[in-house]
Every structure is written in structure tokens, then in C-alpha cells.
Amino acid sequence: MVTIAHHVRKIIERKPFLQEALSRGIVNNAALAEQLIPELEKELRKKVKFSAVNMAIRRLAEELEKTFTTKTTFGKSDVTVKSNLIEIVLYKTQDVQERIKKLYEFIDLRKGDFLTITQGLHELMIITNEKHEKKTLDTFPKTIVKKVIRTLSSATIQLPEESINTIGLFYLATRALNWENINIIDIVSTFTEMTFIIKEEDAPRAFETLRELIKTHA
């Protein structure tokens, strides 16, 4: 038999911000219960008691307080910001791989140039320095250029290897940026790096936000 508690959990699991608020004890459980009752009655096709819903929320909040990502740690992490970047999105074609090799003829990683290449099912994303825009675009046919986004910056969190096994790192970082109204254009990650591509104007706030986040979850 499916219980009210099961449905309450299912609804709240779809709302990560609400989960965190419950884990921190900053939600009025009674008010939340009143809000959930119509949705619960629709799913269960019967009337539900306020007391049952309120109790389910209270028990879930107690559980989340012990297990939610507020326990997550970034360890001894650092934040690096790079500006004057450009993102070029291409449609994937048969010869695109050969053309990508030509990028290394003028993008010099040893001299500090920025380059990240991400491949999806149907498109390919190149992020590099704005100074390489013309040569990068000239490397590919105009017909496969899907989008060019300029005046970007990257904010990279350098993580210790042991942090990789910690649940919730991406959620905490993206949530912190979202709360500061910082739009994330793209996310690029490797084994020990988490990079957020943002608008250049947001770079200073992103740096401070992520640095404070790391201090809080050190």
C-alpha cells in the first residue's frame, strides 16, 4: 500500500531547494503541508488528513538534516578565473575531428592559452581565448557553425582527488551561483576540475561566491 509519507517524499525529492530548506529547518512545516494537500489528494484520489501530511514532512526533515548535502566538503579547493573567452558551437560532421587537430597549430596551451572541447551527440563545443576567434572560425566551414557566444569567463574549482567521492558538489556549486543570479552558460568538468562558463560581467561575483562556498564547506 502506497502511504502518504511515500507521496510526500516523492514530491519533495523533485524539489532540491525545498529539500535543503527542510534540512536546515527554515520551512514552516504546517504551511508546506497545506500546500501539498491538494497535490496529494489528486494523486491518491481521496481526502488526506493534515496531521498525516505534517507528520510525514517533519520526519523527512529530520532525515534530511542528517543526510543532506550540507555535510558535503570541498576539502582544500581553489578557484581560478579566466576572462576574454569565446564559445563556438558546431554541428558534428564527418571531417570535424581532422579540423580540430588544426586548432593546436595556433592555440598554445604551454603559454597559458585556454582550450576545452566537448562533444555531444549532434554538436561540438569549443571554448578558447577571444584572440583565437578568427583562426578558429576559419578552421571550420561556416555552414557547421551553430552559435558563437562572446565575452565569457571561466570559473574553475580545483578539487582534491578525495572530493570526487563526495555527493552533492555540483549541486552546491550551481545552487550558490544561481542564488546570486549568475547565469551558467556551460559546465565543463574533468577528474579534479569543475569549470563554470559564465558571462564576463559575472566573473567577479562568481569568484567571490565560489570562494565563500569552499570556505563554508572546507
Span 16-41, pLDDT tens digits: 778 878 888 889 999 999 999 999 99
CA-closest candidate to residue 10, choices 43, 58, 35, 51: 43
pLDDT at residue 110 in the model: 93
User: How far is Cα 165 from Cα 143, in angstroms, rounded to an integer?
Assistant: 42
User: How far is Cα 176 from Cα 17, in angstroms, rounded to an integer?
Assistant: 11
CATH H-level, domain 78-216: superfamily: VC0802-like (3.30.2130.10)
User: How far is Cα 203 from Cα 116, in angstroms, rounded to an integer?
Assistant: 18
Give the tens place of pLDDT for each residue, 84-125. Answer: 999 999 999 989 989 999 999 999 999 999 999 999 999 999
In angstroms, the Cα distances linking 10 to 13, 22, 33, 67, 167 are: 5, 14, 14, 17, 20
User: How far is Cα 48 from Cα 56, in angstroms, rounded to an integer?
Assistant: 12
Domain residues of the chain, as ranges?
A: 4-67, 78-216
pLDDT at residue 2 in the model: 67
Instruction: Judge contact between 121 and 151, C-beta under 8 A.
Output: no
Give the tens place of pLDDT for each residue, 40-91. Answer: 999 888 999 999 999 999 999 988 877 765 556 787 788 999 999 999 999 9
pLDDT at residue 13 in the model: 83
pLDDT at residue 69 in the model: 56
Cα atoms found within 13 Å of the Cα of residue 174, Cβ hemisphere only = 14
This prediction's pTM? 0.74
Give the tens place of pLDDT for each residue, 158-217. Answer: 888 877 777 678 888 998 899 899 999 999 999 899 999 999 999 999 999 999 988 887
- For residue 12, which amino acid is it? I
The single residue listed with the C-alpha cell 564547506 is 217
pLDDT at residue 60 in the model: 92
Comparison of pLDDT for 215 and 145, the residue scoring more: 145
DSSP at 21: H
Cα atoms found within 13 Å of the Cα of residue 211, Cβ hemisphere only = 9
Contacts of residue 96, defined as CB under 8 A and 6 or more positions apart, other chains included, come to 90, 124, 140, 144
Read off φ and ψ for residue 41, nearest 5 degrees.
Answer: -65, -35
pLDDT at residue 170 in the model: 86
